[in-house]
Structure 1
């Protein structure tokens, strides 16, 4: 096999490309937003396929809400254009755009009951007969029996569904959702994630959803754009972003990643051979984002749930060909479905491992010597010039917007 060529040190990764094709419900071209000397959104191209559930995901201040507001017409872009269904709406005011927005606080009219809240948009447009349309929309969000209740008599989840129904009854081409589940408790939020996805699937309208919650985006969206500091770090299907992160930020922000600094010691077949603190590892060449020559350095990543934890007394039972790292347990936390372990190892002082609580090994306690092992195919490789801790605490950023 030809030895991988050396990558350009410090070269900036190319921006994610917008999906091709004319059937984009939303197309942003070179869109940006600056407030004086501060740039909230750097020029980006983005296409949202018609009929899809699309999520803009990122920490506070990453530019996701500013991007959504430019689509809605609530912010004027500093550059670039906004197209909705192929129509350039960049200079159109919000009320002339074929979109509706659902906000975190729902913005329901407290003096109107559920029926009249949902009917409001139709009545405002001068439509006299609204009974059939309102009834169908209340059935869609499963609130028919509560039609005559006021918002104050509803739970948070019910209010959220009223807000969605009120927005959808106007038949927008795009529904924009700005942190719509942020005010709900964890259990209700998870229920509403499934409910929103069901509604989107039934009506077939394009949803663009802004959230800082990784689980929320991964659960509902067909496509996720991970934003950081006003740029799209990576764009793709949730599973692809999780399994094949393109940067340390995405690897750390979407769940937890163990990132091990290692040296490329050789190549053979479709594998790269690595060494870190005397521990030998194998990395599929296809899972290395930037080519690195023998002698170069990479970050070898593996998700905590991909790792098996074995007491060192049983090391001989580990199958050949697996990546192995020696260590010692320093902490463990029982969280119901699994136990989370923190392991001190020569390659990393705090490797995390998630072990399902099926057949628990009583020897796996703090202080126990262990071997961490996993299928090499579950290892991904990243450029070692990146900040290994990027995305671990994204809320620490000072950007606004």
Structure 2
């Protein structure tokens, strides 16, 4: 099975029919992928999905079983890593402990016999905001500073493409979030193509212009972060990128711009354009809605809910206060664990476990998926989501 890229024309990186097998195990199924020139591109997926193997084939660290790798207009499939115009930053950083920051960054230039490296190194250290740390050794730096040294050392060689393999994985949460913005700033300033491998959905959504969501060696969906989140085409993408409530439903009417479906205790409406499954009267679909799109009203106030909104009834089974919002789990006939996120602006004390409630939302915020898929795909409860990944 091939996955068609979502870009027109060429890019800095083009993979055509590329795959990787190890004996009887297929790490990456044949796929086509184009990474737009000058973009920040993320390969996102759980451990074992094939994302790192794909990155290593771009770098030349793994030989494809089938297919070709083009960088620009040049076929580099048969070239060794050192002859490819790419550099890679790994999670471990791999800095030289006996060299200071300046010499770590200058290393690649000196190895190529380049004289007078001072100006280039200083400009690169200014780019990553480490000019004042030039004479420190790696062990004297924070994790985030070490990561920036690794990026500077890779960029000073002026690669056409920078490959990043889980570069923030060793950092704590607060520092990781700060470094996400830093990496995006650096990529914007230098303007070269970044291809970033990560298992962290928030990281990919924060940094990337385009994201390829990978699962079991295939690209499930490719697009801009907002489009993937708002318009998932599979249950895996719907669940892996955030949280989705998925309701099994039967199509009542499939004419016009809207679909009308029957779900447990009532009818729901969704835009036909947001349904990726074939929709015909009597057919089955999965109706999806994100937790933050939903309003939660106590059953005593059900009459205040506008008639034009989708609604289901249920009973609160648990609540979690997390500061900016309260997360509710509601037991509904349509969905046994319906998640609702409500901002903590005007909290209703009646909305506690055991309370009967109405869940309601704008029909435009609803999407539809093929009902033949597992509703658990992409969740931690999906035992088949991850396989052992070679490389």
Asked if structure 2 preserves the Cα contact closer than 8 Å seen for 1:248 and 1:390, the reply is yes
Partner of 2:74: 87
Partner of 1:8: none
Partner of 1:17: 5
Partner of 1:210: 197
User: Where do residues 224-373 of structure 1 align in structure 2 (5 Å cutoff)?
Assistant: 224-373=211-360
Asked if structure 2 preserves the Cα contact closer than 8 Å seen for 1:16 and 1:233, the reply is no
Supply the distance in 2 between the matched residues of 1:290 and 1:362 (Cα, whole angstroms): 40
Partner of 2:87: 100
User: Where do residues 181-200 of structure 1 align in structure 2 (5 Å cutoff)?
Assistant: 181-200=168-187
Supply the distance in 2 between the matched residues of 1:206 and 1:96 (Cα, whole angstroms): 18
- Which of the residues 39, 53, 60 maps onto 1:73? 60
User: Once the 2 structures are TM-superposed, how far is the Cα of residue 398 of structure 1 from its aligned partner?
Assistant: 2.5
Supply the distance in 1 between the matched residues of 2:354 and 2:158 (Cα, whole angstroms): 61
CA displacement 1:134-163 (0-9 Å, x = unmatched) = 000000000000000000000000000000
- Which of the residues 373, 381, 385 maps onto 1:386? 373
User: Once the 2 structures are TM-superposed, how far is the Cα of residue 375 of structure 1 from its aligned partner?
Assistant: 0.1
Aligned residue-pair number:
388
Supply the distance in 1 between the matched residues of 2:379 and 2:261 (Cα, whole angstroms): 25
Supply the distance in 2 between the matched residues of 1:88 and 1:161 (Cα, whole angstroms): 30
CA displacement 1:306-325 (0-9 Å, x = unmatched) = 00000011111111210000
- Which of the residues 96, 104, 113 maps onto 1:109? 96
| SS at structure 1 position matched to 2:213 | strand
| SS at structure 1 position matched to 2:261 | strand
Which sections of structure 1, spanning at least 5 residues, go unmatched?
Answer: 1-11
Asked if structure 1 preserves the Cα contact closer than 8 Å seen for 2:254 and 2:279, the reply is no
- Which of the residues 110, 117, 121 maps onto 1:130? 117
| SS at structure 1 position matched to 2:12 | strand
TM-score norm. by structure 2 comes to 0.98
Where has structure 1 moved over 6 Å in runs of 4 or more?
none
Which sections of structure 2, spanning at least 5 residues, go unmatched?
Answer: none
Supply the distance in 1 between the matched residues of 2:286 and 2:178 (Cα, whole angstroms): 37
Supply the distance in 2 between the matched residues of 1:124 and 1:196 (Cα, whole angstroms): 26
User: Where do residues 9-48 of structure 1 align in structure 2 (5 Å cutoff)?
Assistant: 15-22=3-10, 24-48=11-35
User: Once the 2 structures are TM-superposed, how far is the Cα of residue 268 of structure 1 from its aligned partner?
Assistant: 4.4
Supply the distance in 2 between the matched residues of 1:222 and 1:359 (Cα, whole angstroms): 35
Supply the distance in 2 between the matched residues of 1:141 and 1:33 (Cα, whole angstroms): 35
| SS at structure 2 position matched to 1:47 | strand
